[in-house]
Structure 1
Amino acid sequence: MTDVTITPAVLHLVRHGESTWNLAGRIQGQSPEAGGLTAAGRAQARLTADLLAERPARPAAIVASDLIRARETAEIIASVLDMPLEFDPELREQQLGVLEGHRLDAPFADDPTAQHAVDRLWREPFRRPDGGESIADMYDRIHRALRRHAESRPGAEVVLVTHGGPVRMASAPQAPTPGVAVPRVGVDNASVTSITMN
C-alpha cells in the first residue's frame, strides 16, 4: 500500500483596493450603497496584479467577494493574469447592519463615535449589531469558505479577493472565545496575505 501525500493549498487573500467609502471614512460592511474603487484603489489593484503575475506558480483560480469594491479589484487582477473570475458571497465583509453607511467619526447610539461601536464588536466578538453579524459569525463563515476552496483545489494556489475583516479572520490563530477580545490587526488596501491550508 502506497502512502498518498496531499500537498496543501496555498490561499492568497487580497484585500480590495481603496474604495470611495474608505476615502470618505464610512462604514461599508455589505451595504449595496458602498462605492467601488477610487483611482488610487485601481492603481493599487494593478500593482498587486503585477506582483501576483511575477510569482513562479500560476494560481489555479481567482475567486472574489461579489461586493463591488472587491469585484473591481478582482477584475483588474484577472485581466492582468488573463484568467476567468469566480464569485463567492461567503467572502464578503462582515455584515454590520445599522452601522453601515455611518461616518466613523460621527456619534452613534450610546457610543461617542461609530468607530467606537465597531471597536466594541472586536472586544466582544459574540456581540451582533442590529441587522448584522458578530465577529464570531464572520470567523465561522470565512473559515468555511477557506476550507471549501482549499479542499476543492488541493496542492494549488488560489487568489481570494476579499475585505479587511475576512483577512483578519483568516489570519486569526484560533476561533473567537466569549469574553476575549479579538485583535484588530491592520490590513492595507490591496495587500496580499498568504496562508497554507493543511
Structure 2
Amino acid sequence: MEEERSPPPLKNCYWVLRHGRSVPNEIGLIVSHKSNGTLPQHGLAEGGFVQAKAAGEIFVKQLEEHGSFKNVAIYSSPFTRTMETANCVAEVLKHAYENLEIRVLDELRERYFGPALELQSHLHYPEIWEIDARNPLVGPEGGESVADVAKRVAAVIPQLELQHEGYAILLVSHGDTLQILQTITKAAEKSNVLWSIPSTKGRQTLSLCVGLSLLTLICCKVFVFVKAMELPDLHNKYWVLRHGRSVPNELDLIVSHEANGVLPGYGLAPQGLVQARNAGKIFVKELKKFSLDNVWIYSSPFSRTIQTSECVLEAVDASFENTRIHVLSELRERYFGPFYELKSRLEYSHDDRKDPFVGPEGGESVMDVYERVLKAIHEIERQTHGSAVLIVGHGDVLQILQAVVDYRSSKKLRTYEELASSLSKHKRFELSNGELRELN
C-alpha cells in the first residue's frame, strides 16, 4: 500500500483582513459589481479609516512578535473600500518596510450578487443566504454562487506561493469572499483531500481547484487567523458596569439606535440613579483593594450610560481628583434594527445562538458588536497602562465583552468560527441594571 504523502508546507504566512466600515455599509447599500465598487464614492466611511489604521497597528505588532519576516506583501481587491483599507495598513507599515506596495488581485474582489440586487438595500442579504443554504452551486439571479467565488479564491494562495518565499502576506478583501476562503481551508484541512461541493445531480461533484496538489497546498496546515480581531494583552485592571434602570426599561421599550439613545428623555429612571450611586460606592471599595494610581471611566454615548457614569464619578472624585468620563461610540448599545426600534421588548424574538453572524433584520449581529467592542479595548489599551478602568455600557455589549475575555482566558484564539460559537452564548454573562463586575 502506498504511503500517504503530506502536502508540502507553505512558503509564506498569510493574514486576512476585511475592509473597514464603508460608505455602502453606512447607507445600507449593496455594492458588489466591480464597475460600482471601484467608484470613489463607494470607499471607506470615516469610521472605516479609523478601523483600517487600527488593523495596521495590530498587524505591525503581530509581525514584531513573529520576528522573522523581512518582507511583507499586501494584496487587495480592486474595490475602493479595500484599496483604501490596504493603503491605511501600508501607511502604518512603511516605516518598518520600505518599498512596500499594494498589489491588486482581481480574484479577491467582492462577490457579485447580481443585477437585481445591485445598488439595492442590504436588507435583501437574507434572501441571498437562503439561496446559499439551499444549494451552493446556485447564486442569486445573474450573480455568483458560493461555488463560483470558491473557484476563484482557491487559486489565490497557490498563485502567491509561486511568486513569494518567506513573506508575510496580507489579503485585504470582503466579507463573503474571505469567509468562503476560510471555509475552503477548514474543510480541506479536516479531510486532507480534495474538497468538493455536492451538485444537484446525484453523485457528481464540482471541484474547487484545478488539481489535488494545489488545493491541499492551499489548505492543509493553514490557519487563517483573524489577527486584526484578537483581544490585546490587558495592561489595566478592568470592571464593567451596566447602566442603572432607565426610562426605556421602565417603559419596556427598545431604544438601541444612537440617535434615540442620546436623547435626554431616555436617560435614567429614579431607581436607576440610586443604582448608579450605589455602584459608585461599591467601585470605590473595589479600588481600595488594588494599588492603582489612576482611574479611567469609559462610557457609551447614550444618556442612560452617561448619567450612570456621572453618578460613579461623584463617588470616585473624592479619592481620584483627575478622573473624568471618556465617551467611546464603540461602547454604544447594540442596534436591534429598524423593525424593533422603539417597540416593546416583548416583541423581540431574534435568537443569537442560531447564527452569531446574523443579527435582527437591519440590526447588528453578535460579531458586529464584537468587532467594535474589541476596537474600544484596543483604544483604551493605547491610552493608558496600569490603571483602573471602568467600562459603563449596555447589557448585550458588556455580555459579549465578557464572553471575549472568558474565551481568551480559556484558550488561544484560533479561528473566527470557534470564537463566534462561544460569543453566541453571551447571555450567560447577563448583568442586572446597575450591576458592577470585575472583568479581569
Matches within 5 A, 1:35-54: 35-54=42-61
Give the conservation status (yes or no) of the 8 Å contact 2:132–2:139.
no
Alignment match of 2:77 (pick from 53, 65, 75): 65
Alignment match of 1:91 (pick from 101, 108, 130): 108
Query: How far, CA to CA, are the matches of 1:37 and 1:27 in structure 2?
Result: 14
Structure 1 residues 164 and 176 mapped into 2: Cα distance closer, same or farther (>3 Å)?
farther
Q: CA deviation at 1:171?
A: 1.1
The match for 1:79 is 91
Give the conservation status (yes or no) of the 8 Å contact 1:42–1:73.
yes
Q: CA deviation at 1:121?
A: 3.2
The match for 2:120 is 102
The match for 2:164 is 153
The match for 2:25 is 22
Give the conservation status (yes or no) of the 8 Å contact 1:62–1:84.
yes
Query: How far, CA to CA, are the matches of 2:162 and 2:197 in structure 1?
Result: 23
Q: CA deviation at 1:150?
A: 3.0
Alignment match of 1:165 (pick from 155, 176, 183): 176
Divergent runs of 4+, >4 A: 187-191
Q: Which has the larger displacement, 162-171 or 44-53?
A: 162-171
Query: How far, CA to CA, are the matches of 1:90 and 1:194 in structure 2?
Result: 25
Query: How far, CA to CA, are the matches of 1:100 and 1:126 in structure 2?
Result: 20
Using the aligned pairs only, state the percent identity: 25
Partner of 1:33, secondary structure, is helix
Q: CA deviation at 1:145?
A: 1.3
- Structure 1: runs of 5+ lacking an equivalent: 106-113
Partner of 1:158, secondary structure, is strand
Q: CA deviation at 1:6?
A: 5.3
Structure 1 residues 154 and 6 mapped into 2: Cα distance closer, same or farther (>3 Å)?
farther
Alignment match of 1:122 (pick from 121, 132, 153): 132
Query: How far, CA to CA, are the matches of 2:60 and 2:12 in structure 1?
Result: 18
Structure 1 residues 185 and 127 mapped into 2: Cα distance closer, same or farther (>3 Å)?
farther
Q: CA deviation at 1:93?
A: 1.2
Per-residue CA deviation, residues 161-197 of structure 1 (Å, 9 max, x unaligned), is: 1111121112113354336xxxx87476799x999xx
Which is bigger in relative contact order (C-alpha 8 A, separation at least 6)? 1
Per-residue CA deviation, residues 101-151 of structure 1 (Å, 9 max, x unaligned), is: 11023xxxxxxxx22321123212111223321110101111111221233
Structure 1 residues 125 and 7 mapped into 2: Cα distance closer, same or farther (>3 Å)?
closer
With structure 1 as the length reference, what TM-score do the two structures score?
0.78
The one-letter code sitting in structure 2 at the alignment partner of 1:100 is: E
Query: How far, CA to CA, are the matches of 2:119 and 2:131 in structure 1?
Result: 17
Point out the structure with max Rg over C-alpha: 2
With structure 2 as the length reference, what TM-score do the two structures score?
0.37
Alignment match of 1:12 (pick from 11, 15, 25): 15
- Structure having the higher helix fraction is 2
Q: CA deviation at 1:7?
A: 5.0
Q: CA deviation at 1:40?
A: 0.2
Q: CA deviation at 1:29?
A: 1.8
